[in-house]
């Protein structure tokens, strides 16, 4: 076992949840009425919400501080509107919506009969160089057995990888100073830094040996999302 790395596992079945007739959302971090002392923001990473939205419905969100919102559709496509622009996303795309405090966005399921599933990721923005913007990225999840970029914004970045069973990979931190990594398993089973993670489990990592995070897929077509973020203390309205 790697004893140098500071790590915390966020089990899928211990996430908070919100549910109405139109949607169900699971929260890896504190959000809304869900609060747990062990689920406070991880550095500038404020939340990861895993949401399923019924056909023809929409979900409205508002940020209380300058925030980079990353929207990633997992099943189906989605429409979004925001204070800085509108658009449509499908699998293999992500949108970085940089919103100032008090701004809103909305996710819309455009289908008549199909549910959609998507991730909302909120990262507290560096207010010293912040401008509300909208930026779309594209990535190829079928470029297998390697990490491919999903987003890069200010001092944070996200990568995704789809791996065959027993395929190994690693990630080198861009800097070891004041930086952490959050790993979120989208599908399948992985061993990350000698820790076992299943579907929709999360893992925060600080101070890995030599700044390297190692992982191995333990099932076929296993998919993980890796987010590198600053650990600089930020005042959070979501803690």
Stretches where the chain sits below pLDDT 50 are 235, 238-239
DSSP codes joined into one string, 104-126 = EEEEE---SS--EEEEEEEEE--
pTM of the model: 0.94
The correct answer on CATH 2.60.120.10 for the domain covering 15-138 is: yes
Phi, psi of 63 (to 5 degrees): -100, 145
Listing DSSP states for 33-62 in one string gives TB--GGGS-BTTEEEEEEEEE-TT-EEEEE
Question: Is-same-fold flag (15-138; 140-230)?
Answer: yes
Q: Please state which CATH number belongs to domain 140-230.
A: 2.60.120.10
Q: Specify the pLDDT at position 150.
A: 98
The predicted pLDDT at position 239 comes to 45
The residues spanned by each domain of the chain are 15-138, 140-230
User: Burial level of 131, CB count in 10 A (0-12/13-18/19+)?
Assistant: exposed
pLDDT recorded at residue 236: 52
Helix, strand or coil for residue 218?
coil
Which pLDDT score is estimated for 233? 54
CA 21/CA 24 separation, integer angstroms: 8
Cα pseudo-dihedral 171, 177, 178, 184, rounded to 10: 0
Q: What is the pLDDT of residue 61?
A: 97
The pLDDT of residue 111 is 98
């Amino acid at each position: 076992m790697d004893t140098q790395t500071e790590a915390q596992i966020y089990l899928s079945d211990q996430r908070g949840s919100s549910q109405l007739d139109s949607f169900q959302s699971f929260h890896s971090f504190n959000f809304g009425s869900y609060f747990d002392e062990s689920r406070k923001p991880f550095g500038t990473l404020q939340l990861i919400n895993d949401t399923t939205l019924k056909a023809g419905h929409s979900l409205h969100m508002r940020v209380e501080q300058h925030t980079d919102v990353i929207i990633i559709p997992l099943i189906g496509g989605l429409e979004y509107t925001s204070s800085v622009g509108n658009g449509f996303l499908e699998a293999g795309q992500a949108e970085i919506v940089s919103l100032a405090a008090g701004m809103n966005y909305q996710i819309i399921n455009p289908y008549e009969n199909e549910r959609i599933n998507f991730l909302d990721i909120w990262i507290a923005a560096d207010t010293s160089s912040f401008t509300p913007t909208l930026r779309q990225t594209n990535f190829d999840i079928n470029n297998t057995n390697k990490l491919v970029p999903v987003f890069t914004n200010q001092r944070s970045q996200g990568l995704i990888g789809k791996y065959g069973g027993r395929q190994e990979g690693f990630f080198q931190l861009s800097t070891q100073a004041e930086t952490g990594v959050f790993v979120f398993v989208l599908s399948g089973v992985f061993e990350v830094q000698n820790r076992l993670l299943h579907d929709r489990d999360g893992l925060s990592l600080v101070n890995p040996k030599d700044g390297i995070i190692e992982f191995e897929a333990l099932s076929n077509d296993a998919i993980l999302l890796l987010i590198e973020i600053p650990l600089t203390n930020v005042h959070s309205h979501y803690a």
